[in-house]
Structure 1
Protein backbone atom coordinates (compact mmCIF):
# COMPACT_ATOMS: atom_id res chain seq x y z
CA UNK A 1 0.00 0.00 0.00
CA UNK A 2 3.03 2.33 0.02
CA UNK A 3 2.45 3.20 -3.64
CA UNK A 4 -1.14 4.24 -2.88
CA UNK A 5 -0.11 6.38 0.11
CA UNK A 6 2.51 8.18 -2.00
CA UNK A 7 -0.06 8.73 -4.74
CA UNK A 8 -2.45 10.21 -2.21
CA UNK A 9 0.12 12.73 -1.03
CA UNK A 10 0.37 13.93 -4.63
CA UNK A 11 -3.42 13.99 -5.08
CA UNK A 12 -3.91 15.97 -1.87
CA UNK A 13 -1.41 18.55 -3.06
CA UNK A 14 -2.71 18.86 -6.63
CA UNK A 15 -6.45 18.79 -6.02
CA UNK A 16 -7.49 21.09 -3.17
CA UNK A 17 -11.20 21.40 -2.38
CA UNK A 18 -11.42 24.82 -4.09
CA UNK A 19 -10.28 23.32 -7.39
CA UNK A 20 -12.64 20.36 -7.21
CA UNK A 21 -15.69 22.55 -6.70
CA UNK A 22 -15.12 24.17 -10.12
CA UNK A 23 -15.38 20.87 -11.97
CA UNK A 24 -18.54 20.12 -13.94
CA UNK A 25 -18.18 16.44 -13.08
CA UNK A 26 -18.07 14.49 -9.84
CA UNK A 27 -17.32 10.94 -8.76
CA UNK A 28 -20.36 8.70 -8.41
CA UNK A 29 -19.86 5.80 -6.01
CA UNK A 30 -21.81 2.62 -6.76
CA UNK A 31 -21.81 0.18 -3.83
CA UNK A 32 -23.41 -3.15 -4.71
CA UNK A 33 -24.47 -5.92 -2.32
CA UNK A 34 -26.76 -8.96 -2.51
CA UNK A 35 -29.44 -6.80 -0.87
CA UNK A 36 -29.30 -4.09 -3.52
CA UNK A 37 -27.24 -1.08 -4.57
CA UNK A 38 -26.44 2.18 -2.85
CA UNK A 39 -25.22 5.25 -4.72
CA UNK A 40 -23.12 7.91 -2.99
CA UNK A 41 -21.14 11.07 -3.57
CA UNK A 42 -18.05 12.25 -1.68
CA UNK A 43 -17.69 15.80 -0.38
CA UNK A 44 -15.25 18.34 -1.80
CA UNK A 45 -14.92 19.79 1.72
CA UNK A 46 -13.01 16.63 2.73
CA UNK A 47 -10.49 16.35 -0.15
CA UNK A 48 -8.07 13.97 1.58
CA UNK A 49 -10.78 11.45 2.43
CA UNK A 50 -12.29 11.81 -1.03
CA UNK A 51 -8.98 11.21 -2.80
CA UNK A 52 -8.18 8.30 -0.50
CA UNK A 53 -11.48 6.49 -1.04
CA UNK A 54 -11.34 6.98 -4.81
CA UNK A 55 -7.73 5.76 -5.02
CA UNK A 56 -8.57 2.58 -3.10
CA UNK A 57 -11.81 1.91 -4.98
CA UNK A 58 -10.08 2.36 -8.35
CA UNK A 59 -7.69 -0.48 -7.49
CA UNK A 60 -10.59 -2.79 -6.59
CA UNK A 61 -9.49 -2.74 -2.95
CA UNK A 62 -13.03 -2.87 -1.56
CA UNK A 63 -14.35 -5.58 -3.86
CA UNK A 64 -15.07 -8.67 -1.82
CA UNK A 65 -14.66 -6.99 1.56
CA UNK A 66 -17.50 -7.42 4.03
CA UNK A 67 -19.78 -5.27 6.08
CA UNK A 68 -18.25 -6.85 9.15
CA UNK A 69 -20.05 -4.83 11.85
CA UNK A 70 -23.74 -3.92 11.81
CA UNK A 71 -25.88 -2.40 14.55
CA UNK A 72 -29.50 -1.62 13.74
CA UNK A 73 -30.49 2.01 14.42
CA UNK A 74 -26.79 2.92 14.47
CA UNK A 75 -24.59 2.08 11.46
CA UNK A 76 -23.04 -0.55 9.17
CA UNK A 77 -19.23 -0.73 8.89
CA UNK A 78 -16.92 -2.24 6.29
CA UNK A 79 -13.62 -1.88 4.47
CA UNK A 80 -11.44 -4.21 6.55
CA UNK A 81 -9.10 -5.93 4.01
CA UNK A 82 -8.78 -9.01 6.22
CA UNK A 83 -12.51 -9.65 5.83
CA UNK A 84 -12.05 -10.94 2.26
CA UNK A 85 -10.80 -14.30 3.44
CA UNK A 86 -12.16 -14.33 6.97
CA UNK A 87 -13.47 -17.51 8.52
CA UNK A 88 -17.09 -17.66 9.61
CA UNK A 89 -17.57 -15.92 12.96
CA UNK A 90 -14.01 -14.60 13.07
CA UNK A 91 -13.75 -11.21 14.79
CA UNK A 92 -12.94 -8.47 12.30
CA UNK A 93 -12.17 -4.77 12.34
CA UNK A 94 -8.40 -4.74 12.88
CA UNK A 95 -7.31 -4.65 9.24
CA UNK A 96 -5.80 -1.52 7.72
CA UNK A 97 -3.61 -0.21 4.90
CA UNK A 98 -0.67 1.02 6.96
CA UNK A 99 -1.55 4.73 7.10
CA UNK A 100 -4.16 7.11 8.49
CA UNK A 101 -5.95 10.04 6.89
CA UNK A 102 -5.84 13.35 8.82
CA UNK A 103 -9.20 14.35 10.32
CA UNK A 104 -11.25 16.76 8.20
CA UNK A 105 -14.01 17.97 10.47
CA UNK A 106 -16.55 20.37 9.02
CA UNK A 107 -19.52 21.64 11.04
CA UNK A 108 -21.74 21.59 7.94
CA UNK A 109 -21.13 17.85 7.44
CA UNK A 110 -22.90 15.78 10.05
CA UNK A 111 -24.04 12.25 10.87
CA UNK A 112 -27.46 12.22 9.23
CA UNK A 113 -28.91 8.95 7.97
CA UNK A 114 -26.92 7.86 4.92
CA UNK A 115 -23.78 9.76 5.90
CA UNK A 116 -20.56 8.08 4.81
CA UNK A 117 -17.90 8.48 7.51
CA UNK A 118 -14.44 7.18 8.34
CA UNK A 119 -13.85 4.72 11.15
CA UNK A 120 -10.84 5.24 13.43
CA UNK A 121 -9.06 4.01 16.51
CA UNK A 122 -8.54 6.04 19.69
CA UNK A 123 -5.62 8.13 18.39
CA UNK A 124 -5.61 11.62 19.97
CA UNK A 125 -5.60 13.42 16.59
CA UNK A 126 -8.81 11.58 15.63
CA UNK A 127 -7.17 10.67 12.32
CA UNK A 128 -9.20 8.26 10.22
CA UNK A 129 -8.54 4.69 9.21
CA UNK A 130 -7.00 4.56 5.77
CA UNK A 131 -9.70 2.18 4.54
CA UNK A 132 -12.51 1.37 6.98
CA UNK A 133 -15.74 3.35 6.76
CA UNK A 134 -19.29 3.24 8.01
CA UNK A 135 -22.69 4.32 6.76
CA UNK A 136 -25.04 5.89 9.30
CA UNK A 137 -28.52 4.52 9.85
CA UNK A 138 -29.28 6.03 13.27
CA UNK A 139 -32.72 6.94 14.47
CA UNK A 140 -35.07 9.93 14.61
CA UNK A 141 -34.76 12.28 17.59
CA UNK A 142 -37.18 14.48 19.49
CA UNK A 143 -36.41 18.09 20.43
CA UNK A 144 -35.82 16.99 24.02
CA UNK A 145 -33.38 14.27 22.95
CA UNK A 146 -31.47 16.68 20.71
CA UNK A 147 -31.24 19.23 23.55
CA UNK A 148 -29.72 16.52 25.73
CA UNK A 149 -27.26 15.64 22.97
CA UNK A 150 -26.20 19.28 22.65
CA UNK A 151 -25.69 19.62 26.39
CA UNK A 152 -23.65 16.43 26.57
CA UNK A 153 -21.44 17.41 23.61
CA UNK A 154 -21.15 21.08 24.52
CA UNK A 155 -21.94 21.92 20.93
CA UNK A 156 -25.03 23.46 19.32
CA UNK A 157 -26.77 22.04 16.28
CA UNK A 158 -28.14 24.36 13.61
CA UNK A 159 -31.90 24.52 13.08
CA UNK A 160 -31.53 22.73 9.73
CA UNK A 161 -29.47 19.95 11.31
CA UNK A 162 -32.06 19.50 14.05
CA UNK A 163 -34.78 19.23 11.44
CA UNK A 164 -32.85 16.50 9.61
CA UNK A 165 -32.22 14.57 12.83
CA UNK A 166 -35.94 14.80 13.66
CA UNK A 167 -37.27 13.78 10.24
CA UNK A 168 -34.59 11.65 8.55
CA UNK A 169 -32.59 10.57 11.58
CA UNK A 170 -28.94 9.96 12.31
CA UNK A 171 -26.36 9.74 15.09
CA UNK A 172 -25.63 13.27 16.39
CA UNK A 173 -23.37 12.08 19.21
CA UNK A 174 -20.73 11.19 16.59
CA UNK A 175 -20.53 14.74 15.20
CA UNK A 176 -17.10 16.31 15.64
CA UNK A 177 -15.50 12.98 16.52
CA UNK A 178 -15.42 11.15 13.20
CA UNK A 179 -14.92 12.62 9.72
CA UNK A 180 -18.05 12.62 7.54
CA UNK A 181 -16.88 12.63 3.92
CA UNK A 182 -19.87 11.67 1.79
CA UNK A 183 -23.48 10.54 1.70
CA UNK A 184 -25.75 7.95 0.16
CA UNK A 185 -27.98 9.66 -2.39
CA UNK A 186 -30.03 6.59 -3.31
CA UNK A 187 -30.50 3.22 -1.64
CA UNK A 188 -31.28 3.98 1.99
CA UNK A 189 -33.66 1.02 1.91
CA UNK A 190 -30.63 -1.19 1.21
CA UNK A 191 -28.91 0.32 4.25
CA UNK A 192 -31.97 -0.52 6.38
CA UNK A 193 -32.06 -4.09 5.10
CA UNK A 194 -28.37 -4.70 5.85
CA UNK A 195 -28.62 -3.13 9.31
CA UNK A 196 -31.38 -5.49 10.42
CA UNK A 197 -29.66 -8.74 9.42
CA UNK A 198 -29.00 -11.28 12.21
CA UNK A 199 -25.60 -10.79 13.89
CA UNK A 200 -23.49 -12.45 16.54
CA UNK A 201 -22.38 -11.03 19.89
CA UNK A 202 -19.49 -9.22 18.14
CA UNK A 203 -21.96 -7.47 15.78
CA UNK A 204 -20.70 -9.43 12.78
CA UNK A 205 -23.51 -10.55 10.44
CA UNK A 206 -24.18 -14.25 10.75
CA UNK A 207 -24.18 -14.42 6.95
CA UNK A 208 -21.35 -12.64 5.11
CA UNK A 209 -22.40 -9.43 3.34
CA UNK A 210 -19.83 -8.67 0.64
CA UNK A 211 -19.58 -5.45 -1.33
CA UNK A 212 -18.44 -4.34 -4.75
CA UNK A 213 -17.56 -0.67 -5.24
CA UNK A 214 -17.30 1.12 -8.57
CA UNK A 215 -16.26 4.73 -9.08
CA UNK A 216 -16.99 6.71 -12.21
CA UNK A 217 -16.85 10.37 -13.13
CA UNK A 218 -20.27 11.72 -14.09
CA UNK A 219 -21.58 15.16 -14.99
CA UNK A 220 -23.00 16.87 -11.92
CA UNK A 221 -26.13 17.81 -13.86
CA UNK A 222 -26.72 14.13 -14.60
CA UNK A 223 -26.29 13.20 -10.93
CA UNK A 224 -28.76 15.90 -9.94
CA UNK A 225 -31.28 14.81 -12.57
CA UNK A 226 -31.05 11.09 -11.75
CA UNK A 227 -30.70 11.20 -7.96
CA UNK A 228 -32.05 14.62 -6.96
CA UNK A 229 -28.80 15.58 -5.22
CA UNK A 230 -28.17 19.32 -5.41
CA UNK A 231 -24.67 20.77 -5.47
CA UNK A 232 -24.01 24.03 -3.64
Structure 2
Protein backbone atom coordinates (compact mmCIF):
# COMPACT_ATOMS: atom_id res chain seq x y z
CA UNK A 1 0.00 0.00 0.00
CA UNK A 2 2.82 2.38 0.94
CA UNK A 3 4.51 1.74 -2.41
CA UNK A 4 1.29 2.61 -4.25
CA UNK A 5 0.87 5.82 -2.24
CA UNK A 6 4.50 6.78 -2.83
CA UNK A 7 4.19 6.16 -6.56
CA UNK A 8 0.95 8.14 -6.69
CA UNK A 9 2.61 11.05 -4.85
CA UNK A 10 5.59 11.00 -7.22
CA UNK A 11 3.30 11.04 -10.24
CA UNK A 12 1.34 13.92 -8.72
CA UNK A 13 4.50 15.94 -8.06
CA UNK A 14 5.76 15.23 -11.59
CA UNK A 15 2.43 16.33 -13.07
CA UNK A 16 2.59 19.60 -11.13
CA UNK A 17 6.17 20.22 -12.27
CA UNK A 18 5.26 19.75 -15.92
CA UNK A 19 2.14 21.89 -15.50
CA UNK A 20 4.17 24.88 -14.33
CA UNK A 21 3.89 27.71 -16.84
CA UNK A 22 6.99 29.02 -18.63
CA UNK A 23 8.80 31.96 -17.02
CA UNK A 24 8.31 34.14 -20.08
CA UNK A 25 5.95 34.52 -23.01
CA UNK A 26 7.46 34.74 -26.49
CA UNK A 27 5.97 35.85 -29.81
CA UNK A 28 7.19 35.50 -33.37
CA UNK A 29 6.92 38.31 -35.92
CA UNK A 30 7.40 37.04 -39.47
CA UNK A 31 7.91 39.01 -42.68
CA UNK A 32 9.34 38.47 -46.16
CA UNK A 33 12.66 39.65 -44.66
CA UNK A 34 12.74 36.89 -42.06
CA UNK A 35 11.39 36.62 -38.55
CA UNK A 36 12.22 37.61 -35.00
CA UNK A 37 11.31 35.99 -31.72
CA UNK A 38 10.54 38.46 -28.96
CA UNK A 39 10.42 37.88 -25.22
CA UNK A 40 7.68 39.97 -23.64
CA UNK A 41 8.66 41.48 -20.30
CA UNK A 42 6.89 40.33 -17.15
CA UNK A 43 7.73 43.72 -15.64
CA UNK A 44 5.21 45.35 -18.00
CA UNK A 45 2.14 43.11 -17.63
CA UNK A 46 -0.41 45.52 -19.10
CA UNK A 47 1.50 45.84 -22.37
CA UNK A 48 2.47 42.16 -22.42
CA UNK A 49 -1.09 40.92 -21.96
CA UNK A 50 -2.54 43.39 -24.46
CA UNK A 51 -0.05 42.36 -27.14
CA UNK A 52 -0.81 38.68 -26.52
CA UNK A 53 -4.55 39.33 -26.67
CA UNK A 54 -4.32 41.11 -30.03
CA UNK A 55 -1.88 38.56 -31.47
CA UNK A 56 -4.13 35.63 -30.52
CA UNK A 57 -7.02 37.34 -32.30
CA UNK A 58 -4.92 37.63 -35.46
CA UNK A 59 -5.11 41.42 -35.25
CA UNK A 60 -1.54 41.92 -36.48
CA UNK A 61 -1.67 39.48 -39.38
CA UNK A 62 -1.42 41.51 -42.58
CA UNK A 63 -0.56 44.77 -40.80
CA UNK A 64 2.38 46.63 -42.35
CA UNK A 65 5.64 47.97 -41.02
CA UNK A 66 4.58 51.42 -42.18
CA UNK A 67 7.41 53.63 -40.83
CA UNK A 68 11.09 52.73 -40.93
CA UNK A 69 14.12 54.88 -40.11
CA UNK A 70 17.57 53.35 -40.39
CA UNK A 71 19.66 53.51 -37.19
CA UNK A 72 16.47 54.34 -35.30
CA UNK A 73 13.50 51.93 -35.44
CA UNK A 74 10.86 50.12 -37.49
CA UNK A 75 7.20 50.76 -36.61
CA UNK A 76 4.00 48.84 -37.30
CA UNK A 77 0.65 47.87 -35.85
CA UNK A 78 -1.65 50.39 -37.56
CA UNK A 79 -4.86 48.47 -38.43
CA UNK A 80 -5.55 50.87 -41.31
CA UNK A 81 -2.40 49.58 -43.02
CA UNK A 82 -4.08 46.28 -43.93
CA UNK A 83 -7.11 48.01 -45.43
CA UNK A 84 -6.48 48.38 -49.20
CA UNK A 85 -8.75 51.43 -49.31
CA UNK A 86 -6.68 53.24 -46.65
CA UNK A 87 -3.21 51.99 -47.52
CA UNK A 88 -2.78 52.72 -51.21
CA UNK A 89 0.78 53.57 -52.32
CA UNK A 90 1.64 57.02 -51.02
CA UNK A 91 -1.12 57.12 -48.41
CA UNK A 92 -0.04 58.32 -44.97
CA UNK A 93 -0.29 55.63 -42.31
CA UNK A 94 0.10 55.63 -38.54
CA UNK A 95 -3.21 57.11 -37.42
CA UNK A 96 -5.15 53.87 -36.99
CA UNK A 97 -5.80 52.47 -33.53
CA UNK A 98 -8.05 50.23 -31.43
CA UNK A 99 -9.90 52.87 -29.44
CA UNK A 100 -8.06 52.57 -26.15
CA UNK A 101 -4.64 53.28 -24.65
CA UNK A 102 -2.40 51.41 -22.20
CA UNK A 103 -1.10 53.23 -19.09
CA UNK A 104 2.65 53.87 -19.21
CA UNK A 105 4.77 51.21 -17.49
CA UNK A 106 8.18 52.82 -17.14
CA UNK A 107 10.81 50.75 -15.34
CA UNK A 108 14.35 51.95 -14.59
CA UNK A 109 15.70 48.52 -15.54
CA UNK A 110 14.06 48.62 -18.99
CA UNK A 111 15.61 50.97 -21.52
CA UNK A 112 15.76 51.58 -25.26
CA UNK A 113 18.66 49.31 -26.09
CA UNK A 114 19.07 47.86 -29.57
CA UNK A 115 16.43 45.19 -30.16
CA UNK A 116 13.71 46.20 -27.71
CA UNK A 117 10.00 46.22 -28.46
CA UNK A 118 8.27 49.40 -27.34
CA UNK A 119 4.86 51.03 -27.62
CA UNK A 120 4.19 53.94 -29.93
CA UNK A 121 1.88 56.70 -28.73
CA UNK A 122 0.44 60.10 -29.56
CA UNK A 123 1.36 63.26 -27.67
CA UNK A 124 -0.53 62.91 -24.39
CA UNK A 125 0.43 64.20 -20.91
CA UNK A 126 0.25 60.78 -19.23
CA UNK A 127 2.44 59.19 -21.96
CA UNK A 128 -0.14 56.44 -22.33
CA UNK A 129 0.67 53.96 -25.08
CA UNK A 130 -1.21 53.17 -28.26
CA UNK A 131 -3.33 50.09 -27.82
CA UNK A 132 -1.77 48.43 -30.86
CA UNK A 133 1.09 50.30 -32.54
CA UNK A 134 4.65 49.36 -31.64
CA UNK A 135 8.22 49.70 -32.80
CA UNK A 136 11.42 47.67 -32.63
CA UNK A 137 14.61 49.63 -31.96
CA UNK A 138 17.52 49.30 -34.37
CA UNK A 139 19.37 52.24 -32.84
CA UNK A 140 23.02 53.22 -33.01
CA UNK A 141 25.97 53.57 -30.66
CA UNK A 142 25.96 56.73 -28.56
CA UNK A 143 28.89 58.70 -27.20
CA UNK A 144 29.14 60.01 -23.66
CA UNK A 145 28.89 63.52 -25.05
CA UNK A 146 25.62 62.67 -26.83
CA UNK A 147 24.18 61.15 -23.65
CA UNK A 148 25.29 64.16 -21.61
CA UNK A 149 23.44 66.35 -24.10
CA UNK A 150 20.32 64.22 -23.80
CA UNK A 151 20.41 64.39 -20.00
CA UNK A 152 20.50 68.18 -20.19
CA UNK A 153 17.85 68.36 -22.88
CA UNK A 154 15.31 65.80 -24.04
CA UNK A 155 15.63 63.63 -20.92
CA UNK A 156 15.10 66.69 -18.70
CA UNK A 157 17.74 65.90 -16.13
CA UNK A 158 17.22 62.13 -15.97
CA UNK A 159 20.59 60.50 -15.40
CA UNK A 160 21.33 57.46 -17.53
CA UNK A 161 22.78 54.76 -15.20
CA UNK A 162 26.42 53.86 -15.83
CA UNK A 163 25.60 50.29 -16.86
CA UNK A 164 23.08 51.53 -19.41
CA UNK A 165 25.56 54.09 -20.71
CA UNK A 166 28.01 51.28 -21.34
CA UNK A 167 25.41 49.35 -23.29
CA UNK A 168 24.50 52.40 -25.38
CA UNK A 169 28.17 53.01 -26.13
CA UNK A 170 29.04 49.44 -27.10
CA UNK A 171 25.82 48.02 -28.57
CA UNK A 172 23.55 50.97 -29.23
CA UNK A 173 19.97 52.07 -28.88
CA UNK A 174 17.78 55.17 -28.73
CA UNK A 175 18.36 56.68 -25.28
CA UNK A 176 16.38 59.79 -26.21
CA UNK A 177 13.16 57.76 -25.87
CA UNK A 178 13.76 56.50 -22.33
CA UNK A 179 11.02 57.33 -19.83
CA UNK A 180 8.84 58.66 -22.63
CA UNK A 181 7.77 55.43 -24.34
CA UNK A 182 7.13 52.10 -22.65
CA UNK A 183 9.59 49.31 -23.42
CA UNK A 184 7.91 45.91 -23.03
CA UNK A 185 9.95 43.23 -24.78
CA UNK A 186 13.14 42.40 -26.66
CA UNK A 187 14.28 40.43 -29.66
CA UNK A 188 16.05 37.22 -28.65
CA UNK A 189 16.64 35.75 -32.12
CA UNK A 190 16.52 36.95 -35.72
CA UNK A 191 17.57 40.57 -35.39
CA UNK A 192 18.78 40.57 -39.01
CA UNK A 193 15.13 41.07 -39.98
CA UNK A 194 15.10 44.46 -38.27
CA UNK A 195 18.30 45.60 -39.98
CA UNK A 196 17.00 44.51 -43.40
CA UNK A 197 13.66 46.29 -42.98
CA UNK A 198 15.29 49.46 -41.63
CA UNK A 199 17.43 49.67 -44.78
CA UNK A 200 14.66 49.45 -47.40
CA UNK A 201 13.84 52.31 -49.77
CA UNK A 202 11.06 54.53 -48.49
CA UNK A 203 9.10 57.69 -49.33
CA UNK A 204 9.22 61.12 -47.71
CA UNK A 205 7.00 59.88 -44.85
CA UNK A 206 9.40 56.98 -44.10
CA UNK A 207 6.92 54.46 -45.49
CA UNK A 208 8.58 51.59 -47.38
CA UNK A 209 8.02 51.83 -51.14
CA UNK A 210 7.21 48.11 -51.14
CA UNK A 211 4.72 47.00 -48.50
CA UNK A 212 6.07 44.84 -45.68
CA UNK A 213 3.19 42.93 -44.06
CA UNK A 214 3.73 40.93 -40.89
CA UNK A 215 2.35 37.84 -39.22
CA UNK A 216 2.46 37.53 -35.44
CA UNK A 217 2.23 34.21 -33.61
CA UNK A 218 2.07 33.59 -29.86
CA UNK A 219 4.39 30.69 -29.09
CA UNK A 220 3.06 27.67 -27.23
CA UNK A 221 3.88 26.91 -23.60
CA UNK A 222 6.15 24.12 -24.75
CA UNK A 223 8.04 26.43 -27.12
CA UNK A 224 8.32 29.09 -24.42
CA UNK A 225 9.74 26.60 -21.91
CA UNK A 226 12.29 25.46 -24.48
CA UNK A 227 13.33 29.05 -25.15
CA UNK A 228 13.56 29.81 -21.41
CA UNK A 229 15.86 26.84 -21.00
CA UNK A 230 17.96 27.66 -24.07
CA UNK A 231 18.36 31.34 -23.19
CA UNK A 232 19.17 30.63 -19.55
CA UNK A 233 22.16 28.58 -20.71
CA UNK A 234 23.52 31.52 -22.64
CA UNK A 235 23.03 34.09 -19.90
Q: Could you state the TM-score of these two structures normalised by the residue count of structure 2?
A: 0.84
Structure 1 49/58 Cα, relative in aligned 2: closer, same or farther at 3 Å? same
Question: Aligned-pair distance for 1:124?
Answer: 0.9
Structure 2 counterpart of 1:104: 105
Q: Decide which of 54, 72, 75 is 1:74's aligned counterpart.
A: 72
Higher mean C-alpha displacement, 215-224 vs 118-127: 215-224
| Structure with the greater alpha carbon radius of gyration | 2
Give the unaligned 5+ runs of structure 2: 1-19
Q: 2:29 aligns with which of 15, 28, 31?
A: 31
Does the 8 Å contact 2:21/2:221 carry over to 1? no
Question: Does residue 199 of structure 1 match 2:197?
Answer: no
Q: Aligned equivalents of 1:141 and 1:157: distance in 2?
A: 12
Report if aligned partners of 1:68, 1:78 keep a CA contact under 8 Å in 2: yes
Change (3 A) 1:214 1:137: same
SS in 1 for 2:35: strand
* Superposition deviation, residue 143 in structure 1: 1.9
Separation in structure 1 between the aligned mates of residue 28 and residue 200 of structure 2, nearest angstrom = 21
Map 1:55-70 to 2 at 5 A.
55-70=53-68
Q: How many residues align?
A: 210
Compute the displacement of 1:148 (Å): 1.8
Residue 212 of structure 2 corresponds to which residue in structure 1?
Answer: 209
Which structure 1 residue ranges, 4+ long, deviate > 6 Å from structure 2?
none
Structure 1, gaps ≥5 residues long = 1-21
TM-score relative to the length of structure 1: 0.86
